[in-house]
């Protein structure tokens, strides 16, 4: 059984937050949530994104 990842991609985060991929990339680059570069793409920590979402938007779980 594959272990569930605690990281998501920019497109996944954009869909969750209901914003553009460019907006999520900007927020990742400026430290609004925990994100890091893996090879040629950004990956975002789910828990950190959820905390950001809860502080900026109205509720909801990832």
pLDDT band at residue 50 under the 50/70/90 scheme? very high
23-33 pLDDT, tens digit per residue, is 999 999 999 99
**pTM of the full structure:** 0.80
C-alpha angle 29-21-44 in degrees, rounded to nearest 5: 50
């Amino acid at each position: 059984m594959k272990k569930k990842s605690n990281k998501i991609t920019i497109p996944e985060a954009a869909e969750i937050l209901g914003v553009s991929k460019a907006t999520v990339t900007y927020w990742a680059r400026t430290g609004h949530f925990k994100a890091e570069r893996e090879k040629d793409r950004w990956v975002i920590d789910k828990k950190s994104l959820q905390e950001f979402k809860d502080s900026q938007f109205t509720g909801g779980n990832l």
